[in-house]
Amino acid sequence: MTAPGSVVALSGVDHFLGAGALRKQILFDVSADIHPGELVMVMGPSGSGKTTLLTLMGALRTTVRGSLRVLGAELRGANSAALIAVRQRIGFIFQTHLLLESLSARQNVQMALGASGLSRRECRRRAGAMLEKVGLAAHVESAPAHLSVGQRQRVAVARALVRNPELVLADEPTSALDRQSGRDVVELLRRLARERGCAVVIVTHDNRVLDVADRLMYLEDGRLSSFAPVTSAHAAHVLTTFRPLIESGHLGTVMARIAQPEFVEMLRALGAEAEQFLNTLDFGDTASAPAIFRATTEAVLERAVALTGASAAHVWVNAADGGLTYLCGYPALPAPSARAENALCVPLLNREMEVFALAELHMEIHSPEAERVFRDFARPLGLLAQVCRRLA
């Protein structure tokens, strides 16, 4: 179902390239909604269909199967005039800035206003104002050859935004930039998205900027695989999405941005994957990285602390001597020796429905609401704890 007010609404979108015996399916049953003011990043390995998805959203390709509504217009079956009308309301930013070297920064931005019906004076004024917004007030008349790579990409951003688009599509806008320049460009896009109420979709391989996103879409082999609400109907292979976030140190930041209902839904999907992983362990050894499960468990506990207003959350598992031994927590205990007193405790069950561990929440004042929220974590947290203990 299309969410009301969506800038982009995909439902069951399939896409193919080639014809006859060479016909190959690139996208499979992609469904998602993107809303005004959001910055969504599309991740995934090379060849997973990211750029194809972006060009479909930009009305640069024909939608073959399913429904794709952009800015209220159905693109599947749309004629050329309708597609052009949609494109005129979209700002495009490409991997290479594609500036004309013979023109100044202002003139490059002015080109985007060529068919706007504005006077030359107004086009000049708007181009200058937009360059000032992106931090290039001192380089308005500079030629691209006299600008750094980061400054040239800012000109490209100004050119994409000068027409006040309702949707901005960016394909690898940070790939040629250093860490700080890339982050500056993405944060600039997020700020302008907030100010103008437009949606921004960025295709990226850049793990350094993932925490700037409001939501993530992870494409693998043409299928969505993510925990974010933008793809909650397709929440599968959650840990595939977690890996780049863990490696970049952004997992906790991204988790903190997920609304509570979608977070609980993500947690159930995470528990299901943990259970499948336990089944794998039962039938043989595996070289899967234990650090991923431990970091994921700690990030879940961090979110539990944030949702309940607690000061800490920890997991203790049954020890051989019949006592409890510390497994992990947030914040982690540097040298755990004994459990805290007066903590809110929730038993964790293994697959045989036996208590094998204890999750505790440290709070000055216990509340029924905090206990209810924390109990939502019990089943998937127990499965994650089992994996962590087995891998340890």
Using one digit for the tens of pLDDT, what is the confidence trace for 259-294? 787 788 778 777 766 766 676 566 554 555 577 888
**C-alpha closest to that of 277 among 133, 120, 386, 147:** 386
Residues 6+ apart with CB under 8 A from 102: 143
pLDDT for 185-243, tens place per residue?
A: 888 888 888 888 889 999 988 877 877 887 788 888 888 865 444 433 333 456 666 77
**Alpha carbon 86 to its chain's center:** 25
**C-alpha closest to that of 226 among 269, 264, 288, 260:** 269
| 152-161 average pLDDT score | 90
| 292-303 average pLDDT score | 90
CA–CA separation, 86 and 167 (whole Å): 10
Extended strands (E) in the chain? 8-17, 24-34, 39-43, 65-70, 73-74, 90-93, 167-171, 199-203, 215-220, 223-224, 312-318, 324-330, 344-349, 355-362
**Rounded to 5 degrees, what angle do the CA atoms 347, 352, 355 make?**
20
The string of DSSP codes covering 118-155 is --HHHHHHHHHHHHHHTT-GGGTT--GGGS-HHHHHHH
CA–CA separation, 381 and 353 (whole Å): 14
pTM confidence score:
0.66
| Tokens encoding 5 | 């007010």
pLDDT for 317-332, tens place per residue?
A: 988 777 888 999 999 8
- Fold entry, domain 8-256: Rossmann fold (3.40.50)
CB 189 within 8 A of CB 206: no
Query: Quick one: pLDDT at residue 364?
Result: 83
11: β partners: 67
Q: Which listed CATH number (3.30.70, 3.30.450, 3.40.50, 3.90.320) goes with 260-391?
A: 3.30.450
- Mean pLDDT score across all residues of the chain: 84
Residues of the chain with CATH 3.40.50.300: 8-256
Residues of the chain with CATH 3.30.450: 260-391
CB 243 within 8 A of CB 225: no
Does 254 have pLDDT greater than 90? no
Q: Which residue has the tokens 């600008």?
A: 147
